[in-house]
Amino acid sequence: MSNKIVIRDCRIVDVSQDIDSSGDIIIENNKVLDLVVHKPGLKPDYADFEVVEASGFMAMPGFIDIHTHLREPGFEHKETIATGTLAAIKGGFTSVCPMPNTNPVNDNPTVTTFIIKRAMKRGSCNVYPIGAITKGQNGEELAEMGMMLEAGCVAFSDDGKPVMNALVMKRALEYSKVFGVPLISHCEDMSLTAMGVMNEGYLATLLGLEGIPRSSEELIVSRDIMLAGYAGARLHIAHVSTRGSVDIIRRAKASGVQVTAETCPHYFTITEDAVKGYNTDAKVNPPLRCAEDIEAIKEGLRDGTIDVIATDHAPHHADEKVLEFDRAPSGISGLETALSLSLRLVDEGVLTYSDLCKKISYEPSKIFGIGKGTLKKGACADITIIDTKKEFIVSKSKLLSKGKNTPFEGMNLMGMPVAVVVKGKYINVLEL
Ligand code: DOR
């Protein structure tokens, strides 16, 4: 395709400019040249441009997933940078931020550079790595954040594990403050999680499975908020799953702590009931909770307590998920269902399309300083084009991710990406 493209006659939703109107997006090279909002009688002529007719579709600044597991290096049987980024664009994400729990762990600039170079060579979308907080994610010695930032990391996390030692977390927050980047906390008190594999409660007892109490998450949410407040540092809470966490974060924000938070589509869509039948595709950490948690998470999204919708795309090999429930790894393959599940929130009146744009593009960019999430003139041309009315049934066999571990198999969903533009390159995702 040419380097001069017009996405014509779509509904443009761009919260960064407070736009929700029909119009045309003009792209030249890899940048947004202009947005033409339609006015009666105005019919611009785009003689030199390749025109993509998009009437009936919606366009937003490209989605950014700040919580993805691409598994490379080390776990290529679960996912690779090539397959994970292909799944990302299929799901409408033009940028992803891979977590550091690879092998070797992304705790030094060599691994960061490897990921970036591999993504440039084999990736389908932009990749902004997240470095580890501690060496080897062992929770003991701080990793070289400065060097990893120089190599291209955008934030730090030991995701998959908490930083259990409060002194280490305090020092990590103080250190990250020097660079002004957020630390992402995987909130889990391992002494409370112990051998737990699903939400603690009646169902866990019935199934004979060890439970993970909500307090396992909430204690570390509280602790890290206190430490961030003390250090004056930026904290981002990963994968919020409980009503209590939403309350704690809401109060912390009101008191001025620099805290942001994300949740994932599975935490506002399904409950622990999905585990019935020992369904390992519904085994995830933190675990799926209950209806009251879903309600609180929706309210948190609605009132801005939860800033971001992220996927926590955690692909695993089918041979690993076929194990007994307590032996199977935690994780849900999320990139290719996130948009459709999030659109249900618009349908339910929890979010507007502009809110969705904010939570899946604008805020992720702002929090991680990525400089995207907008269709302003001169911005990088990263765009997601959606058919909000297209219905489909989730099918593992159609996922482009190597990870087929979705608990949404067979679910009827509405709304899917039809195309993306990544750095000015138009990709019809329906042909992937
Ligand atoms: O369910 C999860 N899977 N939660 C995490 O925090 C890590 C992730 C993984 O890496 O598989």
The confidence band for 43, taking pLDDT boundaries of 50, 70 and 90, is confident
The confidence band for 82, taking pLDDT boundaries of 50, 70 and 90, is very high
Assess whether the previous peptide bond of 104 is cis (omega < 30° from 0): yes
> Domain 62-368 is classified in which CATH homologous superfamily?
Metal-dependent hydrolases (3.20.20.140)
| CB 157 within 8 Å of CB 143 | no
Report pLDDT for 291: 98
Residue 231 has pLDDT above 70, yes or no: yes
Mutate to test the pocket of ligand 1, among 103, 284, 311 (most ligand atoms within 8 A of CB): 284
Residue 42 has pLDDT above 90, yes or no: no
In the set 107, 312, 355, 382, the catalytic residue is 312
What residues does each domain of the chain span? 4-59+379-389+414-431, 62-368
Mutate to test the pocket of ligand 1, among 159, 189, 240, 288 (most ligand atoms within 8 A of CB): 159
Q: Is 418 in the pocket of ligand 1 (CB under 6 A)?
A: no
Q: Is 160 in the pocket of ligand 1 (CB under 6 A)?
A: yes
Q: Is 314 in the pocket of ligand 1 (CB under 6 A)?
A: yes
Report pLDDT for 386: 98
How many angstroms does the Cα of residue 313 sit away from the middle of ligand 1? 8
Question: Can you give the pTM of this predicted structure?
Answer: 0.98
Q: Give the mean pLDDT of 33-52.
A: 86
* Strands (DSSP E) found in 82-221: 93-98, 126-127, 130-131, 155-157, 183-185, 198-199, 211-212
CATH number of 4-59+379-389+414-431: 2.30.40.10
DSSP letter for each residue of 244-298: HHHHHHHHHHHTT--EEEEE-HHHHH--GGGGTTT-GGG--SSPP--HHHHHHHH
The Cα–Cα gap between 106 and 119 comes to 14
Of all residues in the chain, what percent carry a pLDDT higher than 70? Answer: 99
Residue 158 has pLDDT above 80, yes or no: yes
Q: Pick the atom of ligand 1 nearest to 188's CA.
A: 6
Instruction: Give the model confidence (pLDDT) of 185-199 as tens digits.
Output: 999 999 999 999 999
Residue 45 has pLDDT above 90, yes or no: no
The confidence band for 41, taking pLDDT boundaries of 50, 70 and 90, is low
Mutate to test the pocket of ligand 1, among 270, 330, 335 (most ligand atoms within 8 A of CB): 330
Instruction: Give the model confidence (pLDDT) of 351-406 as tens digits.
Output: 999 999 999 999 999 999 999 999 999 999 999 999 999 999 999 999 999 999 99
Report pLDDT for 38: 83
Instruction: Give the model confidence (pLDDT) of 95-108 as tens digits.
Output: 999 999 999 999 99
Nearest to 148 by CA among 106, 185, 98: 106
Q: Which two tokens stand for residue 108?
A: 């030094």
Nearest to 175 by CA among 231, 99, 257, 110: 231
Instruction: Give the model confidence (pLDDT) of 317-356 as tens digits.
Output: 999 999 999 999 999 999 999 999 999 999 999 999 999 9
The confidence band for 135, taking pLDDT boundaries of 50, 70 and 90, is very high
Instruction: Give the model confidence (pLDDT) of 284-314 as tens digits.
Output: 999 999 999 999 999 999 999 999 999 999 9
45: annotated active-site residue:
no
What is the pLDDT of the chain when averaged over all its residues?
97
DSSP letter for each residue of 357-417: HIIIIIHHHHHHT-S-S---TTSB--EEEEEEEEEEE--GGG--SS----TTTT-EEEEEE
